[in-house]
Amino acid sequence: MGGLLMLLLPSLFPSLFSPLSRSYPSVFSEWNAPRPMHSHLLNRALQQQTSKAQEAELWSPLPNQGWEACADKQDTQSLGRKSQGYIQVFLDGGLNQQRMGICDAVAVAKILNATLVIPYLEVNPVWQDSSSFADIFDVDHFISALSNDISIVKELPSDYSWSTREYYATGIRATRIKTAPVHASASWYLENVLPVMQSYGIAAIAPFSHRLAFDSQPSDIQHLRCKVNFHALVFVPHVRTLGDALVSHLRSPPSLDNASSATHFHKGENDRAGAGKYVVLHLRFDKDMAAHSACDFGGGKAEKLALAKYRQVLWQGRVLNSQFTDEELRGQGRCPLTPEEIGLLLSALGFNNSTRLYLASHKVYGGEARISSLRQLFPFMEDKKSLASSHELSEVEGKASLLAAVDYYVSMQSDIFISASPGNMHNALLGHRAYKNLKTIRPNMTLLGKLFLNKTMQWSEFQQAVQQGHKNRQGQMRIRKEKQSIYTYPAPDCMCKA
Ligand SMILES: *[C@@H]1O[C@H](CO)[C@@H](O)[C@H](O)[C@H]1NC(C)=O
Ligand SMILES: *[C@@H]1O[C@H](CO)[C@@H](O)[C@H](O)[C@H]1NC(C)=O
Ligand SMILES: *[C@@H]1O[C@H](CO)[C@@H](O)[C@H](O)[C@H]1NC(C)=O
Ligand SMILES: *[C@@H]1O[C@H](CO)[C@@H](O)[C@H](O)[C@H]1NC(C)=O
Ligand SMILES: *[C@@H]1O[C@H](CO)[C@@H](O)[C@H](O)[C@H]1NC(C)=O
Ligand SMILES: *[C@@H]1O[C@H](CO)[C@@H](O)[C@H](O)[C@H]1NC(C)=O
């Protein structure tokens, strides 16, 4: 977990107006195609058969767990006094981090009785997507869904039009609040931001990510944050349309003309419990993550050297994992699962070569070679590119936030979601799906690390251990603990006892 935190640090503490200047090392010659690391298991997994009973259980929806989504059922204390001024926030990070920032901004505006200006989304230095709030989210829906809670404006009135990102980037300004502590309390805002807003009519808060505490907030503020996240934020129509098209492809039988592997899809398929259903696999296996972990991923000496060098350039010796051996790291569950390992996990859980799998991911380190074992296990693995035409994709192509929005949408519609990589997307979907009581498999990394270390383990033992270890990790409601995010664990703060 410490290692993961390190990974997230750049996004937790960005220097807002001086983008992380990462010197990306030039291309290394590490392309020895990675070989399967667990071929003894892989060969058996390829013959995976699933019994009818097992399949029915696998795809069955979660039972009612006694919690109801209710964040939209009550408005906060009605808009009382006249707005005291404007609140502006500048949000960095990727789509899912910005999403939390938006929810917190609404809460802060409520606490201060302020009018919120539609949040400004910074261009992420890594993903380079300049999409604005309105390019991603349906602004009119956002404003109207919250109209009984706070007032929101698309733009500042002309009196305040000087308050722009450029204005704050080019000097020290009295209206900018730069010192909001991570997880600040409501009273911090009342003491430090309210006076600025009262003096100038506006306060601009940057940085703002993770700047409102999850604990000790009044329940109406918690409800409001979830109402924003789960009800007020919906994607723009063209993202939803594209998402719906992808979902409809995933729910229909694979086309027999096209997929060469589809020939074993026989008649009668529609009677299966899994027919018309699909799993989303969120796979994050990028070079930063691989390098950061200091684990061995089967690419041989060349890959090890390349990753070590990359690690040195990026973190200059600040990554401590490298003091451990690969075995120690695996035993502690600190190695990201490779696509091959995720494939073995899915097979052991009972998915087989007729399962429709949607891959939500950006670049996979090692490219197609790295996912070949996974594809072998799941020939019906799809992604945006394989399901939609380039014409359909044209509006989102090359825009990281919109691509992530499409994946988010498809993930929310799926029967089962599994994320192999902790991070903002994982947390966002874990929370949103918990709110809607949808099945989500959370791999136990420690267990899997230990199992994969054992090179003599038989498939049946592996399968049994995996199934046993994941019985209670499929979406059973987990109550938020202190300091945890309400957006990841919406019960009890944002849900009602049914
Ligand atoms: C799927 O697996 C079965 C064995 O379980 C095998 O007979 C069949 O050929 C496989 N299909 C594909 C497309 O790999
Ligand atoms: C996959 O599992 C389903 C459900 O039990 C089964 O009907 C189907 O035959 C299996 N496919 C293969 C190739 O084993
Ligand atoms: C905001 O308005 C409410 C309701 O009118 C009031 O109780 C509260 O004191 C106000 N807060 C601030 C910071 O003005
Ligand atoms: C098969 O693929 C081609 C091009 O990839 C596409 O134009 C065609 O519509 C597909 N056919 C079906 C039935 O999906
Ligand atoms: C994960 O697996 C490990 C090793 O089997 C076990 O000790 C641990 O309790 C599991 N963690 C959870 C949260 O179930
Ligand atoms: C590997 O797994 C087998 C079968 O479960 C077990 O007997 C053996 O002790 C394990 N080896 C190690 C090193 O844990």
Residues 181 and 289 placed together within one structural domain of the fold: no
Domain shared by 486 and 359, yes or no: yes
- Model confidence at 149: pLDDT above 50: yes
Assess whether 389 and 290 both reside in one domain: yes
What pLDDT is attached to residue 12? 38
Question: From CA 227, how far away is CA 491, in angstroms rounded?
Answer: 13
258 lines ligand 4 (CB under 6 A): yes
Residue 458 CA: nearest ligand 6 atom is: 4
Q: Indicate which atom in ligand 1 lies nearest the CA of residue 263.
A: 13
Q: Residue 439: beta bridge partners? A: 416
Q: Does the CB atom of residue 264 touch ligand 3 within 6 A?
A: no
Within a domain: 79: no
How much is the mean pLDDT over the chain? Answer: 86
- Is residue 272 in contact with ligand 2, taking CB distance under 6 Å? yes
Residue 26's pLDDT band (cuts 50, 70, 90) = very low
Q: Per-residue pLDDT tens for 429-453?
A: 999 999 999 999 999 999 999 999 9
Spatial distance between the Cα atoms of 107 and 117, rounded to a whole number of angstroms: 13
Q: Residue 284 Cα, ligand 6 centroid: separation in angstroms?
A: 30
pLDDT, average across residues 197-203: 97
Regarding predicted confidence, which is higher, 315 or 443? Answer: 443
Does ligand 2 have an atom closer than 6 angstroms to the CB of 354? yes
Q: Which residue's CA is the nearest one to ligand 1's atom 13?
A: 261
User: Which residue's alpha carbon is nearest to atom 3 within ligand 6?
Assistant: 457
Question: What number is the average pLDDT over the span 113-132?
Answer: 91
**pLDDT score recorded for residue 127:** 77
Shared-domain flag, residues 41 and 113: no
Helix (H) or strand (E) holding 4: helix 2-12
Give, for ligand 3, the residue of 113, 192, 197 to mutate: max count of ligand atoms closer than 8 Å to Cβ.
113
Q: Rounded to an integer, what is the distance from CA 38 to the centroid of its chain?
A: 28
- Give 42's contacts (C-beta < 8 A, 6+ positions apart): 36, 340, 343, 344, 373, 376, 377
In a domain, 22, yes or no: no
Kindly state whether residue 16 falls inside one of the protein's structural domains.
no
| Range scoring the smallest mean pLDDT among 102-111, 284-293, 447-456, 477-486 | 284-293
The alpha carbon of 79 and the centre of ligand 3 are apart by a number of angstroms equal to: 9
Report CA(454)–ligand 6 centroid distance (Å): 6
Best residue for ligand 2 mutational test, from 57, 266, 270, 354 (most atoms within 8 Å of Cβ): 354
| 108 in Cβ contact with 137 (< 8 Å) | no
Given 183, 208, 234, the domain boundary residue is 234
Q: How far, in whole angstroms, is CA 384 from its chain's centroid?
A: 17
Closest ligand 3 atom to 80 CA: 5
Question: 3-state class of 203 per DSSP?
Answer: strand
Query: Which of 448, 454, 459 has most ligand 6 atoms within 8 Å of its beta carbon, as the pocket-test mutant?
Result: 454
d(CA 37, CA 456): 13
- 179 and 253 in a single domain? The answer is no
pLDDT of residue 271: 59
Last residue of a domain, one of 181, 212, 234: 234
Residue 257 has pLDDT above 60, yes or no: no
pLDDT band at residue 32 using 50, 70 and 90 as cut-offs: low
The strand pair at 495-497 and 67-69 is best described as antiparallel
Cβ contact 427:159 at 8 Å: no
Least confident stretch, 2-6, 349-353, 356-360, 438-442: 2-6
131 within a domain of the structure (yes/no): yes
323 lines ligand 2 (CB under 6 A): no
Same domain, 197 and 325: no
What confidence score (pLDDT) does residue 187 get? 96
Distance 486 CA to ligand 5 centre (A): 24
Mean pLDDT of 358-372: 84
Q: Which domain holds residue 193?
A: 86-234
In 3D space, the residue among 372, 446, 316 whose CA is nearest the CA of residue 37 turns out to be: 372
Q: Are strands 86-91 and 115-117 parallel, antiparallel or unpaired?
A: parallel
When pLDDT is averaged across residues 245-260 and rounded to a whole number, the result is: 76
Neighbours of 434 (CB within 10 A): 25
On whether both 123 and 227 belong to a single domain, the answer is yes
Whether residue 228 is found in the same domain as residue 267: no
The answer on 195 and 264 residing in a single domain is no
341: nearest Cα among 295, 304, 305: 295
Establish whether residue 113 lines the binding site of ligand 3, counting it when its CB lies within 6 angstroms of any ligand atom: yes
At 317, the pLDDT band (50, 70, 90 cuts) reads low
Report pLDDT digits (tens) over 36-90. Answer: 889 889 999 998 888 888 888 899 999 999 999 999 887 666 666 578 899 999 9
Token reading at 409: 């949408």
Average pLDDT over residues 242-248: 96
- For ligand 3, the distance from its centroid to the CA atom of residue 111, given in whole angstroms, is 8
Q: Which two tokens stand for residue 432?
A: 């949103």
Which atom of ligand 6 lies closest to the CA of 465? Answer: 5
pLDDT at position 463, please? 95
266: helix, strand or coil: coil
User: Could you give the percent of the chain with pLDDT greater than 70?
Assistant: 87
Nearest ligand to the CA atom of 254: 4
The closest of 263, 298, 251, 233 to 33, measured between CA atoms, is 298
**Other CB atoms within 10 Å distance of the CB of residue 78:** 7
CA 451 to CA 460: how far, in whole Å? 12
Report the chain's terminal Cα–Cα distance, integer Å.
34
Smallest-distance ligand from the CA of 389: 4
Backbone angles phi, psi at 458, to 5 degrees: -80, 155
The reply to whether omega before 254 is within 30° of 0 (cis) is no
Residue 26 lies in a domain: no
* Phi, psi values for residue 310, rounded to 5°: -60, -45
Helix H or strand E segment including 55: helix 52-59
Protein residues whose CB sits closer than 6 Å to any atom of ligand 1? 47, 49, 261, 264, 353, 379
Residues 405-432: tens digit of each pLDDT: 999 999 999 999 999 878 899 999 999 9
Domain membership of residue 1 (yes or no) is no
52 lines ligand 2 (CB under 6 A): yes
Q: Residue type for 211, please?
A: R
Do 45 and 150 meet the contact criterion of CB atoms below 8 Å apart?
no
Name residue 375's amino acid: R
pLDDT of residue 11: 42
Q: Residue 153 is part of a domain; what is its CATH number?
A: 3.40.50
Does the CB atom of residue 112 touch ligand 3 within 6 A? Answer: yes
What is the structure's pLDDT at 1? 43
Q: 98 with 187, same domain?
A: yes
CA 375 – ligand 4 centroid, Å: 20
Last residue in a domain, options 172, 202, 234: 234
Q: Does 306 lie in the same domain as 202?
A: no
- Proportion of the chain above pLDDT 90, given as a percent: 64
pLDDT in tens, 84-113: 899 999 999 999 999 999 999 999 999 999
Q: What are the structure tokens assigned to 417, written together?
A: 């979601």
Distance CA 34, CA 18 (A): 37
- pLDDT for the residue 256: 52
Q: What is the largest CA-CA distance in the chain?
A: 73
| Domain identity same for 248 and 392 | yes
Model confidence at 239, pLDDT cuts 50, 70, 90, reads very high
Q: In this structure, which ligand is nearest to the CA of 355?
A: 2
Q: Which ligand is nearest to the CA of 446?
A: 5
- Top pLDDT among 406 and 326 is at 406
Closest atom of ligand 6 to CA, residue 457? 2
Rounded-to-integer distance, Cα 420 and Cα 396, Å:
25
Predicted structure pTM score = 0.88
Answer whether residue 141 is part of any domain.
yes
Calpha distance 459→430 (Å, rounded): 29
**Which of 420, 292, 287 minimizes the C-alpha distance to 360?**
420
Q: Do the Cβ atoms of 325 and 293 come closer than 8 Å?
A: no
Count how many domains the chain has.
Answer: 2
Residue 205 has pLDDT above 50, yes or no: yes
252 lines ligand 4 (CB under 6 A): no
Residue matched to tokens 């789509």: 95
Give kind and range of the element (H or E) at residue 205: strand 202-205
The CA dihedral of 269, 473, 465, 383, to the nearest 10 degrees, is 50
How far apart are the CA of 259 and the centre of ligand 4, in A?
A: 9
Alpha helices in 93-236 (DSSP H): 95-111, 133-136, 139-145, 165-169, 186-192, 194-200, 219-227
Atom number of ligand 5 nearest to Cα 444 = 1
Report the pLDDT value the prediction gives residue 432, as an integer from 0 to 100: 98
| Burial (CB count <10 Å: 0-12, 13-18, 19+), residue 460 | exposed
Q: Is position 389 within any domain?
A: yes
81 touches ligand 3 (CB under 6 Å) = yes
Lowest mean pLDDT among 133-142, 172-181, 307-316: 307-316
Q: Are 110 and 224 in contact (CB under 8 A)?
A: yes
Q: Ligand 3 within 6 A of 80 CB?
A: yes
CA 108 to ligand 5 centroid distance, Å: 38
